[in-house]
Amino acid sequence: MGNKHFYIDIFAGCGGLSTGLLEAGWAGLFAIEKNADAFSTLNYNLIQSKKHFEWPAWLPIEECDINILLKKHTQELLDLQGKVTLVAGGPPCQGFSMAGKRDKNDQRNKLVKSYIKFIKLVMPKVIIFENVHGFTVNFKGKKGTKQYSSYVERALKRLGYKTAHQIVDMSEYGVPQNRKRFILVAMRDHSPKDVFSTLEKNRNAFCNSKGISCSTNIRDAIDDLKKSCGTTPSPDTKGFQAGVYGFAQSGYQRLMRKGIVVDGCAVDSHRFVNHRKEIIKLQEELLLNAPIGRRITPDDNIVENLNRRGVTVLDANAQAPTITSIPDELVHYEEPRILTVREHARIQSFPDWFQFKGKYTSGGKRRKQEVPRYTQVGNAVPPLFAEQVGLAILEVLSHEQTE
């Protein structure tokens, strides 16, 4: 395997973390993602287009459940000991999210145990684990409480790792949204605290090198994607319009568009929703009357007929709230519409060359099985932040080992 630093992306989603690690110079070994929609996006961009993963012959290139992998390929995973520098990624966060129902019996929470089993087999030098900050908050229940973050740290310490964690606000790292996440780093031979201090120390130089500000606002992120920049028939959905590029007006827009040929064609996944007349009227009223950048609910009685759980009219000069999988929670700062998948992806810091696959949205019962494009984006780790973490880990590994 040479001198490359190999990593495995576990619970990979559509590949946000891997996109950042690719930019940071890591070599992918393989990625584990059980959802077919999310895997098809990862496959298209990182396996087929960028040839980023070496991919072992014993593992089919397809979506895969971690529990089946652990059962079928125990020996192959054991054989990877000493060959894998990093295991990246954490179990799906919905069961822990403060925005959701926080059910301590949610099946997804049991994946934490599968995660520990995987680490025990592969024993990488470094682990980077990301989750919602609700991961550190106890579950209320009849039998006391469960705090999964301390469970994970205890399990890793038993395996001989040193651990450190922080709640990191990604808006301080060039990502144009207030996204707070629990980040855990575990290392066998180095101090994981050094990763956090290196990350912070390098932040300004990193953003300068990319030509962006450490605190990117919404206008800087998506102003070249307005509907007023022009439209063309959507290439992947009949009867819809998609947006074309306006002029790049900020360093962030230029960074996101790197390697893209601007030719008047539709921007990938930049399909505008066909809003009904009454919805357009509602969005216009929100633009006129809602407090900018503040989430409102129907109980606030600011506009009539608001049948959404909550909605925020974006403040063009500030960061967005956390991007989720629900598209109608955000209204554009100038146009009476919700954001497109591409605008969500920009706010998550996905480069424009990264194309999303599968349906745009799904509803009803299908929501439990399907991971459409909006959800793929909402669930991802912002690549721009992942790149900085990847670089910080490489820098710490290049130092002498610590006791």
Question: What are the catalytic residues?
Answer: 93
What pairing do the DSSP bridges indicate for beta strands 295-296 and 311-313?
A: antiparallel
Run of H or E residues at 359: none
Q: By C-alpha distance, which of 67, 115, 116, 117 is closest to 91? A: 115
Which residues, in sequence order, are CB contacts of 128 under 8 Å at separation 6+? 86, 87, 88, 89, 183, 184, 185, 389, 393
> Cα 200–248–269 angle (5° rounding)?
85
Q: Residue by residue, what is the 3-state secondary structure of 37-66?
A: HHHHHHHHHHHHHCCCECCCCCCCCCCCCH
CB 175 within 8 A of CB 385: yes
Q: What is the DSSP string of 160-206?
A: T-EEEEEEEEGGGGT-SB--EEEEEEEESSS-THHHHHHHHHHHHHH
